[in-house]
Amino acid sequence: MTAGLSGRAAICGIGQTEFSKESGRTELQLACECVKSALDDAGLSPADVDGLVTFTMDTTEEIDLVRNLGIGQLSMFSRVPYGGGAAAGTVLQAAMAVATGVADVVVCYRAFNERSGMRFGGFASTLTSMPLFLSWYGPYGLLTPASWVALHARRYMEAYGVTNADFAPIAVVDRTHAATNPDAWFHGRPITVEDHQASRWIVEPVLRLLDCCQESDGGVAVVVTSTERARSLRHEPAVVVAAAQGATFDGESMTSYYRDDLTGLPEMGVVGRRLWEMSGLGPDDIQTAFLYDHFTPFVLMQLEELGFCGRGEAKEFATVENLSIGGRLPINTNGGLLGEAYIHGMNGITEGVRQIRGTSHNQVDAVEHVLVTSGTGVPTSGLILGRA
Amino acid sequence: MSGRLAPSMTPDTAFFWEGVRDHRLLIQRCTECGTLRHPPRPMCPRCTSLSWEAIEASGRGTVLSFVMPRHPQFPGFDERFIVALVELEEGTRLVSNLVGTTPEEASIGMAVEVRFEHFDNDVVLPQFVPAGGGPGGAAGAAPDPGTGADR
């Protein structure tokens, strides 16, 4: 009965802190700030909130948010696992709660000091013992998300004759969009294909520096309520037309090296099929997308999993022209994780809402539906947002 | 050789690392349906049996993928060390290092074979070298007396 969810809930508020490399305050404070900002945007007060959803990885406890914001009581709270794969999943959880009457107003949040605090790409430098999940990889020097992704992506490159240069358009498009977004860390700093190709290797021969998203401090929150209630609030609702999570057999978190075929992202395949089925839409119905871009190769693979092009065709599809404003599928109009900030994908959802409202700094014409995906190489999630 | 961080293990996975200490590359096999699996886990995903045994792999395989992590650099690794995804001839896969060759000589699809490396801090790990006769292959290269290579 997944069709029962389509159209029932909407995002009525979005909020964020500034995006920086050193916030200078606690993750708890960042969470308080972004949630308050989202409620203000919606025209709601903390007293209206009765549900909270965040990432398993988030350090801010629900009860601490309640105590800081003065929320009276919660009737629903849940967390979504697998790092950035959780982002759209938080909205799915919220939409289910709203659609079933379990909660009326649910806030989804993610706030961290991922640059000034614990860095995902650097934590291994300080390890004194090997965590269990890393024991099949870490002793051999496969110690960072970039290296985990690269070993997988190289199979894709081998299968379809893809080289690192084929990833350049993703970085160039993201940074071009970031350049005109005042909220983006890389505001005013576009790059060229030559810049991409001149950047140093992070994991040879797959990922250069400009293939890897930045690390950021900041927080992002969205407010989900019923579409009916959202219509009475101050902004045009961004309706949850479809929402899905996906996981498949023999996967791991970032190190899914054991499936027969390593040229795809089957978790995203599950999400894509569910989104199209639930919405009754197809790739041609999407005017702009936020494709999770922690590492550029997985953006190409997402285009294939979601059906925007055929298997092995993404290197032809993913040109700067096609992915820019005015092209076939403008992506990451806020600059993406590479250009705006790495807020674990939650800033892709807020950008999707802005595209529906018509308030993006890089607004696409005549937007009816926006696709938003979450972390790849892990169990993941996705959303299609639309107009009320 | 400098040290490497030792793997953590659980009762589900300890047999693999104990095998490595004995210079044996072990693969978990379901005693009900015979399906091989790696990484180790308590239940067979094909038949849900909890009964299993460990068989010794031939140590021969092929390189499915390999990369050279360059940044950040970690202590104990050369500047362009190679991490490889190896498919054993029995059919299971594991991540390891490719040694005794260079990034330029290595290739996807190349035949490799296991040897066992003892690191300074008493950690033993399986490592793979080009199969005998290949570029820098075990058969063509002088054995390193300090590594405990036995294949």
CA atoms within 13 A on the CB side of A333: 30
Does B142 score more than 80 pLDDT?
no
| pLDDT grade for B134, boundaries at 50, 70 and 90 | low
Say what the pLDDT of residue A124 is: 79
Asked if the Cβ–Cβ distance from B45 to A249 is below 8 Å, we say yes
Q: What is the mean pLDDT of residues A129-137?
A: 91
Q: What is the tens place of the pLDDT at every residue in A326-383?
A: 999 999 999 999 999 999 999 999 999 999 999 999 999 999 999 999 999 999 999 9
| Residue A224 located in a structural domain | yes
Q: What is the tens place of the pLDDT at every residue in A263-320?
A: 999 999 999 999 999 999 999 999 999 999 999 999 999 999 999 999 999 999 999 9
* Residue A137 touches chain B, beta carbons under 8 Å: yes
| pLDDT grade for A126, boundaries at 50, 70 and 90 | confident
Report d(CA A138, CA A130) in Å as an integer.
7
Taking the CA of residue B97 and the nearest CA in chain A, the distance in Å comes to 6
CA distances (Å), A164 to each of A118, A159, A321, A329, in order? 29, 14, 18, 21
A66 burial (CB, 10 Å; 0-12 / 13-18 / 19+) is middle
Q: What is the mean pLDDT of residues A107-121?
A: 94
CA distances (Å), A152 to each of A155, B92, B117, in order? 6, 16, 25
Q: What is the tens place of the pLDDT at every residue in A45-62?
A: 999 999 999 999 999 999
DSSP 3-state assignment of B65? strand
Q: Which residues pair with A382 in a beta bridge?
A: A244, A373
Say what the pLDDT of residue B138 is: 47
Taking the CA of residue B139 and the nearest CA in chain A, the distance in Å comes to 24
Taking the CA of residue A246 and the nearest CA in chain B, the distance in Å comes to 19
Q: What is the mean pLDDT of chain B?
A: 89
Task: Give the residue range(s) of CATH 2.40.50.840 domains in chain B.
Answer: 58-138
* Residue A132 touches chain B, beta carbons under 8 Å: yes
Does A1 score more than 60 pLDDT?
no
> Which of A120, A129, A135 is the best mutation test for B, with the most CBs of B within 10 A?
A135
| pLDDT grade for B120, boundaries at 50, 70 and 90 | confident
| pLDDT grade for B143, boundaries at 50, 70 and 90 | very low
| pLDDT grade for B135, boundaries at 50, 70 and 90 | low
Q: What is the pTM of this model?
A: 0.95
Say what the pLDDT of residue B108 is: 98
| pLDDT grade for B141, boundaries at 50, 70 and 90 | very low
Residue numbers in B near A142 (CB within 8 A): 69, 83, 95
Query: What is the CATH T-level fold of the domain B58-138, as seen in this structure?
Result: OB fold (Dihydrolipoamide Acetyltransferase, E2P) (2.40.50)
Report d(CA B139, CA A215) in Å as an integer.
46
Which residues of A are part of the catalytic machinery?
Answer: 292, 342
Instruction: Identify which of A2-6, A231-235, B3-7 has the greatest average pLDDT.
Output: A231-235
Quick one: what percent of chain A has pLDDT higher than 90? 95
Q: What is the tens place of the pLDDT at every residue in A71-103?
A: 999 999 999 999 999 999 999 999 999 999 999
Of A129, A209, A262, the CB nearest to B5: A129
Distance of CA A106 to the CA centre of its chain: 19
Distance of CA B131 to the CA centre of its chain: 14
CB A153 within 8 Å of CB A295 = yes
| pLDDT grade for A128, boundaries at 50, 70 and 90 | confident
Report d(CA A140, CA A230) in Å as an integer.
52
Q: What is the mean pLDDT of residues B27-47?
A: 98
Does A42 score more than 50 pLDDT?
yes
| pLDDT grade for B139, boundaries at 50, 70 and 90 | very low
Does B145 score more than 50 pLDDT?
no
| Residue A169 located in a structural domain | no
Does A27 score more than 60 pLDDT?
yes
The total number of structural domains that make up chain A: 1
Of A132, A155, A201, the CB nearest to B70: A201
Domain that holds residue A10: 2-117+213-387
User: Which helix H or strand E contains B21, and what residues bound it?
Assistant: helix B14-21
What ipTM, to 2 d.p.? 0.94
**Which token pair is B40?**
């180790």
Does B137 score more than 80 pLDDT?
no
Question: What are B's interface residues with A at a Cβ cutoff of 8 A?
Answer: 4-10, 13, 38-39, 45, 64-72, 74, 76-77, 80-81, 83, 85, 92-97, 103, 108, 123, 125
* Residue A146 touches chain B, beta carbons under 8 Å: yes
Say what the pLDDT of residue A326 is: 96
- CATH number, domain containing residue A41: 3.40.47.10
Higher pLDDT, A124 or B149: A124
| Residue A141 located in a structural domain | no
* Residue A72 touches chain B, beta carbons under 8 Å: no
* Residue A261 touches chain B, beta carbons under 8 Å: no
Say what the pLDDT of residue A123 is: 77
| Residue A247 located in a structural domain | yes
Side chain identity at residue A32, one-letter code = C
Taking the CA of residue A208 and the nearest CA in chain B, the distance in Å comes to 10
Does A248 score more than 50 pLDDT?
yes
Q: What is the mean pLDDT of residues A95-113?
A: 98
- Using alpha carbons, select from A3, A63, A30, A11 the residue that is nearest to residue A352: A11
φ, ψ of residue B42 in degrees (nearest 5): -70, -30
Of B9, B93, B103, the CB nearest to A257: B93
Q: What is the tens place of the pLDDT at every residue in B73-108?
A: 988 899 899 999 999 999 999 999 999 999 999 999
